[in-house]
Structure 1
Amino acid sequence: KICKDLDKDDGFPRVYSYCQWNEYNVLVTEVLGPSLSEMFDTHNSQFNPKTELYIVFQLIHRIQKLHELGFIIRDINPDTLVLGPKQTKKESIIHLTDFSLVKRYTSDPNNPLKHIPMTSGRSLNSWPRYASINAHLGLEVSRRDDMESIGYLIVYFAKHGKLLWTDQGFTGDVKQQIGEYKRCTPIERLCSDIPNVFAKYLRIVRNLEFDETPEYMKLKLMFYQHFLDAELEDDGLYIWSTNAPK
């Protein structure tokens, strides 16, 4: 149902059929292209600054759309962010494709009283690399946690595939240790050697209240101002675009 609600919007796969086959639920969608993870590997873990910022704009917009329908995605990672088919007009549109952990956070996005309550003792089911601090703590997640996950993902791209809690050789409870790293690492250190706008974004979304509506447009404009300050050409071309300069 979520997929059908969204499949008229860019960035969400078109759904053609849904059925049950034996013990399986089968969803038939349009054919898409490679994932962001695959494209990152193809380009030696280094997107150019313009591509990084275009990704930011799309992710914030995509998650905003989901939130406006009353849902949170609860798991954001580059393996499930998928581009359109190569050499088509959709080749640079990022699609959300994994809705297995999607949850309704409200029955009415326009009524704060309908928001789910804060609870604790929750399990961390999403990929820990990009999970929010609150998710690691076992707290109920909300819109702010989706936004925080976007923050870790875009820092991962900006730092060429490195986050301070990757490649640490953790043993034992890896989820718990990654959570400790996130809590104990100052944002400035996490975002060292990349533009300050990434640290600013993380500070804003980490300070959101549990039931607060993120200022999506303000966040996008903040990154667009950085785009202008960096004097990047707004031509819509990503590093992988068919017509991108070689």
Structure 2
Amino acid sequence: MNTVPNGLGPSLKIIERIVCEVYLSCLPQLNTPTPECNKHFCSLASPGRRALILLAPLLSLRLVASSWNTAFKNFQHSTRAAFFSAVEDGVYYPHAWHINTRVRKAVLLARYRVFRTIDSEAGNRGVYLAYDFGGAEGCAEALEVVVKAWVTDSDFECQREIAAYSVLGGAKPCRGVPVPRTTGAQHDPVCDVHALVLPKLGPTLEDLRELLPDKQFDARMVLTVGIQMIERYRDIHARGIIHNGIKPANICLSPRGSADPPDVLYAIDFGLSTILDMASESPLPSGQRVDAVGNRRFMSVFAHHGIGQSQRDDLESLAYLLSYLFHGSLPWDTPGGPNARGSSRSRSRTATTQTEQHQPQVWRIKIATQPSVLFRHMDACYVDFWRDVKALAYAEVPDYDRMRARFMARLQEHEPSDVPVDWWDISEKSKQ
């Protein structure tokens, strides 16, 4: 790179002005729709493939002299060098510290452009949809991905999520669990967040439930969910991971166009998961009370009392989920109560809202609810499943194959043709 003494070269402000003018002259080409690409999700700081070609005159100015390179860098991160095209309209985040604002400050990890918030909690963590323009075709073939972001990597859920995916997505990835596109939670210095990028899956069971006429699954669908989740937990538990996060919003359809059979479901969200001590021959729960983790609507009775969770707790939560999908509600659901929407996420045994103080304690209702009530109008195989689960000791390995075979036999009675449930077909027909 050539250099020009400061005393002989033009002032830096004049050079920056020239750089800006050249950039503005390139914008019409960048924003003009073409057969290959009619949108751009990149920025001047992280240009995509086509943008690099169209910005060649601007980028070549960096080779003139060191002062020109300095001017380019100053302009590159200025507000004038904004994104090439907007992907969100009318979105305003006034707080610079909030996670929603941070992830939109720039292109994440130089290739992911956030365009929609799925969920954000307390401003320090969130889940987002983003465009990935880091492929060979850049913005022309930008894929949608899911980004989980945290303000700090010491966040409880960040550490649990990374630990779980490092085990489940090893050399032989666990079927029905998404494989992260990044190694761990990578730090983006511009946005100042730690981001984990995951593939975008299909709709959740909660999304599908909302489309159904009565918001209830039929017997065949519930049996399929039971079979799939028993398989999923068999594989997850075999690697020493306890999910602690089952709910309809944490079970997804397989990605459209994937090689998975049409009935395959994915388990997501391992931010509340725990790792069992698989080396111990006789593992025991902690002698001290632990924080209650999970969704109060579906968590096990032991979890409510702060007893360490194991395989039996995931399966107990699965039993509650199956009852919920069939009936559309659970016996402890109360109008306007803390579980009315089923989206509460608890990590503290001391957090009690004013509304909860006037509601019966959920764990008391769970204990008092007989299986004949919980599984009313459902097949007898659910009561048998329930009794097997409640008979398990802490960390005892369940007989997953027998549980699955029981559901499979009942499913074949409902559908002798052995045609698997096509979740995407149900979703499309429900929309119509």
Displacement of 1:231 after TM fit? 4.5
Is 1:63 aligned with 2:233? yes
Distance 2:289 2:399 in 1: 28
Deviation at 1:43, TM superposition (A): 1.5
Structure 2 residue corresponding to 1:3, chosen from 165, 169, 176: 165
Taking the aligned partners of 1:48 and 1:240, their CA distance within structure 2 comes to: 16
Quick check: 125-134 or 232-241, which moved more?
Answer: 232-241
1:20 and 2:204 equivalent?
A: no
- Which has the larger displacement, 162-171 or 235-244? 235-244
1:1-246 alignment runs, 5 A limit: 1-7=163-169, 8-17=173-182, 18=184, 19-22=186-189, 24-44=193-213, 45-90=215-260, 92-108=263-279, 111-113=280-282, 115-159=283-327, 161-170=328-337, 171-173=355-357, 177-241=361-425
Distance of aligned partners of 1:173 and 1:135 in 2 relative to their CA distance in 1, 3 Å threshold: farther
- Which structure 1 segments of 5+ residues have no match? none
Give the distance between the partners of 1:175 and 1:102, measured in 2 at CA.
28
Q: In 1, are the aligned partners of 2:243 and 2:274 still within 8 Å (CA)?
A: yes
| Contact kept? 1:35, 1:80, Cα under 8 Å | yes
Aligned-pair CA distance for 1:25: 2.5
Mean Cα deviation higher: 3-12 or 136-145: 3-12
Q: Which amino acid aligns with 1:43?
A: L
- What code does the residue aligned with 2:315 have? M
Change (3 A) 1:46 1:87: farther
Q: Which has the larger radius of gyration?
A: 2
* CA-CA distance at 1:118 after TM superposition: 4.1
More deviation, 168-177/214-223: 168-177
Contact 2:224–2:263 under 8 Å retained in 1: no
Note the C-alpha offset of 1:186.
Answer: 1.2
- Which residue is equivalent to 2:29? none
The worse-fitting range, judged by mean Cα deviation, of 52-61 and 195-204 is 195-204
Distance 2:414 2:358 in 1: 38
Larger relative contact order (Cα-Cα within 8 Å, sequence gap ≥ 6): 1
With normalisation by structure 1, the TM-score equals: 0.87
CA distance in 2, matches of 1:207, 1:51: 26
Distance in 1 (alpha carbons) for counterparts of 2:383 and 2:417:
23
Name the CA shift for 1:239/1:104 in 2 (closer, same or farther; >3 Å).
closer
Length, aligned pairs only? 242
- Note closer, same or farther for the CA distance 1:9–1:210 as it changes in structure 2 (3 Å cut): closer
Moved more, 62-71 or 87-96: 87-96
The verdict on how the C-alpha distance between 1:76 and 1:176 changes in structure 2, with shifts beyond 3 A counting, is: farther
The amino acid across from 2:165 in the alignment is: C
Distance (Å, rounded) in 2 between the aligned partners of 1:95 and 1:146: 15
Counterparts of 1:56 and 1:232, CA distance in 2: 18
**Structure 2 length-normalised TM:** 0.52
